[in-house]
Structures are given as C-alpha cells and as structure tokens.
Structure 1
Amino acid sequence: MKEFTYTITDPQGIHARPAGLLVKEAKKYASSLTIAKGSKKGDLKKIFTVMGLGVKQGESITVQADGADEEAAASAMETFFKENF
C-alpha cells in the first residue's frame, strides 16, 4: 500500500470541477484508491465521496492506493493534487 498526505492550497478547496477531473483520473487505475480527511474516509473514484468530505483550503487529506498498480496510481494522484489543488 502507498500513501501520501497533501494540504489543499486552492482558496476554494476541493470544488466540483477539479473534483470531477480527480475522480476521472482515479478511475484510470485498477488499484483501490481511498481519500480521507480526519475521521471521514471514502472511495476516491466516487464524486459524491470526494465532495462529501467538504475539504477547504488549509486542510489536509490522505490518499491511499492499494493494488497491482498502486505505485503509479499514488504517484499520479499526488501529481494531480499538486497541479490542481
């Protein structure tokens, strides 16, 4: 399992448009991808889960990748967060 933590820098937090792109990117990988904020945790491949976390600027999220392509999935997700949030 691969894991990383990222602090959101976007003033709008994780909002609809980039969240949709994030889910689309996550679906490219066979690995199970989960996103967590505090005690809330869910499937990164589901838009309602991502939006339901209500992540604001300055808050940290943790992403876990577990599966056959976990290395590539975690790397791609971390890059996506750095470029979009």
Structure 2
Amino acid sequence: MAERRVTVASPVGLHARPAARFVTAAAAFDGEVYLARPGGPRVSAASMLAVLTLGVRGGEEIVITAEGDGAEELLDRLAEIAACTAD
C-alpha cells in the first residue's frame, strides 16, 4: 500500500470545493483509497461525507493511502489537490 503525508494548504481545509475535487479524483480510482489524520482512523477518500466528517482544517497534516494499479500517480494527484491554496 502506497502512502503520502501532506499538509492541507487551503485556509478552509478539506471542505466544500477542495473536498469535492479530492473525492472526485479518489472515486475515479479503481482501487482502495483512504484518508486519515496521523495516528487516527482512516476513512474512504472516495466518500464526500467521510472526508467532510474528518473536519480537516488548513495547515493540518493528512495521510493518504492507496492500493491498486496506478496508486502512486493517484497519490501524487491527491497530494497536489490537498497542497493547493485555492478554494
């Protein structure tokens, strides 16, 4: 299983538009994708409700894991989304 640790750059964190972009990319992946806070429980990164329930704020670190063909490329894309400062 591939993993990335990323600091969420958007001042609003992972909610609304940033979360929608993140979930859309994760849902298109043909494999398993999870999101968590370091040391916390993981949730499906393909579920908008699960991602929003985490309540990730700007400046917080997240852990994204993926398993399946193309996992590294997907993690690169999700890390890019989480590190983007635009809302």
TM-score (norm 1): 0.86
**In 1, Cα distance between equivalents of 2:85 and 2:26:** 14
**In 1, Cα distance between equivalents of 2:84 and 2:11:** 14
Please report how far the alpha carbon of residue 84 of structure 1 lies from its aligned counterpart in structure 2 after TM superposition.
Answer: 5.0
Give the equivalent residue in structure 2 for 1:71: 72
RMSD: 1.6
Identify the structure with the greater strand proportion.
1
**Residue type of the alignment partner of 1:80:** I
Report if aligned partners of 1:31, 1:73 keep a CA contact under 8 Å in 2: no
- Alignment: residue pair count: 85
Which ranges of 4 or more aligned residues in structure 1 deviate by more than 4 Å? none
**In 1, Cα distance between equivalents of 2:7 and 2:84:** 12
TM-score (norm 2): 0.84
Unaligned residue ranges in structure 2 (runs of 5+)? none
Report if aligned partners of 1:18, 1:84 keep a CA contact under 8 Å in 2: no
Q: Which moved more, 1:44-53 or 1:24-33?
A: 24-33
